[in-house]
Amino acid sequence: MLKPAQDGPAVVACNSCRLSATAREDGEGRRGGALLVAALRAVQSERAEYAGIAVQEMPCLFACQEACTVHFRAPGKVGYVLGRFAPDPDSARAILDYMVHYAASDEGQVAYRDWPAGVKGHFITRTPPAGFVVE
């Protein structure tokens, strides 16, 4: 059931997420999560600063009410689940821009002033790394 993935800063996208709160797929039968993964990979190739961030995918992050969800993670850092994204380049760019700050942080906490507008209002959960809780 588990499959090895690159260890390091990663955005894990649910590739089976609904397209939106009201639609499961687009007119061509594509899920929102799969479209978001494609957008993340396309945008990632645009800027060298995104190269150190892995774009990973898996089916179902169990945040089904939120549509187009992603998980930010890195060893020893607080993790976050975000959702309610449009599966488009603007959302992908905001996600990756946030991940640049996240990857550079000591513990995964990014100052609010550094949050791209495109991630504000999208946070669902915060998860502590193994062996820690947040103060």
C-alpha 80/C-alpha 8 separation (Å) is: 15
CATH of 10-127, picked from 2.40.30, 3.40.30, 1.10.3470, 2.60.120, is 3.40.30
128 DSSP assignment = P
Question: Would you kindly state where each structural domain of the chain is located, as residue ranges?
Answer: 10-127
Sheet holding 54-58: strands in order across? 54-58, 10-14, 70-73, 79-82, 123-127
For residue range 11-65, list pLDDT tens digits in order. Answer: 999 999 999 989 999 999 999 999 999 999 999 999 999 999 999 999 999 998 8
pLDDT at 30: 95
Q: What is the DSSP string of 48-82?
A: GGGTTSEEEEES--S-TTTSS-EEEE-TTS-EEEE
Reduced to 3 states (helix: H, G, I; strand: E, B; else coil), residue 27 is coil
Decide: pTM greater than 0.85: yes
Answer whether 93's CB lies under 8 Å from 45's CB: no
pLDDT at 120: 98
Residue 93 has pLDDT above 90, yes or no: yes
111 DSSP assignment = -
Q: What are the structure tokens assigned to 11, written together?
A: 């955005």
